[in-house]
Amino acid sequence: MATSLKAEEYRLEKVFSDDFVYSIPPYQRPYSWTEDQASELLDDILAAQPEPHQEAVPYFLGSIVLIKDAAQPEADVVDGQQRLTTLTILLAVLRDMAKSAEIRDELNRFIWQRGSTITGRADHFRLTLRPRDRDFFRDHVQKDGAVSDLVVKDPAGLADTRRRVHENARYFWGELSNLSEAAREGLAAYLIQHCYLVVVAASDRSAAYRIFAVMNDRGLDLSPTDILKAEIIGALPEAQRDAYTEAWENIEEELGRGRFRELFGHIRMLHARTKAKGNLTDEFRRDVADHFDPARLIDDEIGPLAEAFQVVRDASFEATQGAESVNVPLVQLSRLDNADWVPPAMAFVRAHDNDPAHLARLLADLERLAYGLLLLGANVTNRIARYGRLLRDLSDQKDLLSDGSPLQLDADEQGRIVEALDGPLYWRQRVCLPVLLRLDSLMADAGARYEHKVISIEHVLPQTPPAGSLWIEWFPDDDERQVWTQRLGNLVLLSRRKNTAAQNFEFDRKRDTYFKKGGVAPFALTADVLNSDSWTPEHLSERHERLRELLTTHWRLNGNGNR
């Protein structure tokens, strides 16, 4: 039978209707969107909503790729499970917060469909996650009233996928609690009536994956930078085109296509100083290209900023002296799970590459700010707004090292960061690893660069110590033990995957075998534990205070300004 292919733009009213019954195949990766992506989705939808007197404008949420027979509603999701799952969580939160039984019932219809004796159709959920996550998602999100119980549930012990679901449901619940009932109903109406997904459906697996590959720029020759290249080079006098084409392609070859595209996004941010809301081609054209003569754009912007970008991304600053002080914070910044800090770093390198001492100070404060925002839980919208203010002040030649500068942390922020360092750091997975690596570098060579293929986080005091063990004797109070287990002082780094059996060893055995590889501990943070002969609450408390003090001193978190 010939392959059928259909691509249409649908409102969410249609996407979450009887026309589609979505399943996430077991071979797909697990749900992985964090609060960062969830907050960006909600912020963008709220920003797109019109004022009461304005006409609603359609908002495009992206695309999904399905394996689906045109005559049947059943569909395997090839691409788009993160979006569909997060939208389902958002709808479930709106449903469970609704005070009107009618609104609850209406929203519930977009999450599951009641069966019908007349049509012979059984009850079914609109979306079914992978088998290992399916029941949790149904019981704690999709069932009517389930989210209100989920958001007060302790995430301790939840697997990563379930923790992401819990984290995003709790985030939506907290944010929507700040809206009135009428505002929440308006949001639900806008979401269902004016938000769209492009649904691409292929009747066989191979066709669906070919489409997925093309849509993700694999096997696709034409990228946003190719379109911009044609426009920018094409606007030059014919006599100049060959030389500028060669210059353009040399930069692209040096960086690689992926990094070259990333560069254009960062250049746009340097000029617009706001979060991108549309596609890269249109926004680069509007915010950058339209303001430059094509030759000057390549000579004075793309070329020099490509060099700054490479220095920032590779931590490869060179100077007769002081280069290492510049590269150390760049190494630490590269460990974060976002690249929002890159445009300010590029701007610093471009503006101060002839003054390594000043450049090092700016980058050290940028590291402090970026890690501070991470620990504060700032979402992408808040981070970019902060970096936008920083770029404006840099452009206006304001003193970035003075109190009150967007580069600096105020006293309240410093206090809240210290509180975050004191809390259950392990549960904040995207925060924990970079913070531990930063701490490790302070304990060892500040510029240490690790090549370990696997770096995992391990608890010294186990999460579930066996009954009768010395751990229980040292920590007899279950509540106290649970609190200490996830805190900074109880965590070490390993250069291999966790060993479930070894995690509950008694302290002496765990210290002498599990924490070593080839007879030595690969991380200074882990070697620090080898000097201990026991792991009592006193030992653990002392280590926690010492490690926290290292970070608070390094990041100047004294609450008394920034000097």
Burial zone of 291 (CB within 10 Å; 0-12 exposed, 13-18 middle, 19+ buried): exposed
| pLDDT confidence of residue 211 | 64
Q: For all residues of the chain together, what is the average pLDDT? A: 89
**pLDDT tens per residue, range 423-454:** 999 998 889 999 999 999 999 865 556 666 78
Q: What percent of the chain has pLDDT over 90?
A: 65
Q: Answer with the residue of higher pLDDT: 499 or 12.
A: 12
Distance (Å, whole) CA 371 – CA 148: 32
> Would the pLDDT of 183 be above 80?
yes
Pairing between strand 124-125 and 112-113? antiparallel
Least confident piece of the model among 247-251, 401-405, 494-498? 494-498
Give the model confidence (pLDDT) of 266-280 as tens digits: 999 999 999 998 889
Residue 27 pLDDT > 70: no
Q: How far is CA 373 from CA 328, 376, 420, in A?
A: 19, 5, 11
Q: How far is residue 84's CA from residue 128's CA, in Å, rounded to a whole number?
A: 10
| Cβ–Cβ under 8 Å, residues 317 and 349 | yes
- Nearest Cα neighbor of 454 from 522, 513, 507, 505 is 522
What is the structure's pLDDT at 50? 87
For residue 219, the model assigns a pLDDT of 35
Q: What is the pLDDT of residue 213?
A: 55
Res. 220 pLDDT band, cuts 50 70 90: very low
The number of angstroms, rounded, from the C-alpha of 190 to the middle of its chain's C-alpha atoms is 26
Residue 9 reports pLDDT greater than 90:
yes
Spatial separation of the C-alpha atoms in residues 166 and 80, rounded to whole Å = 20
Confidence of residue 217 (pLDDT cuts 50, 70, 90): very low
Vertex 459: Cα angle to 456 and 460 (nearest 5): 125
Mean pLDDT of 135-145: 95
Phi, psi angle pair for 385, to nearest 5°? -60, -40
| pLDDT-above-70 percentage for the chain | 91
| In the predicted structure, residue 346 carries a pLDDT above the cut 50 | yes
Q: Are 168 and 38 in contact (CB under 8 A)?
A: yes
Amino acid at 113: Q
Q: Once rounded to an integer, what is the mean pLDDT over residues 318-338?
A: 95
Cα 158 to Cα 91: distance, rounded to the nearest angstrom: 22
Report phi then psi at 79, rounded to 5: -145, 130
Residue 418 Cα to chain centre, angstroms:
22
The more confident residue out of 401 and 115 is 401
**Residue-level pLDDT at 444:** 87
Whether the pLDDT of residue 218 is over 60: the answer is no
Give the H/E segment covering residue 22.
strand 21-23
Output 26 or 297, whichever has higher pLDDT: 297
Q: What is the mean pLDDT of residues 327-348?
A: 96
Poorest-pLDDT segment among 11-20, 144-153, 452-461, 482-491 = 452-461
Buried b (16+ CB within 10 A) or exposed e, 297-313: bbeebbeebbebbbbbb
Contact residues for 383 (Cβ-Cβ < 8 A; gap 6+): 338, 340, 373
> Tokens 């669906």 belong to which residue?
208
pLDDT digits (tens, 9 = 90+) for 223-248: 788 888 888 988 888 889 889 988 99
Instruction: Report the alpha-carbon distance of residue 412 to residue 513 in Å, rounded.
Output: 43
- Main-chain phi, psi angles of 457, to 5 degrees: -105, 130
Structural tokens at position 389 = 């203010």
Torsion, Cα 199 204 209 212, to 10 degrees, reads -10
Closest to 165 measured CA to CA, from 144, 183, 149: 149
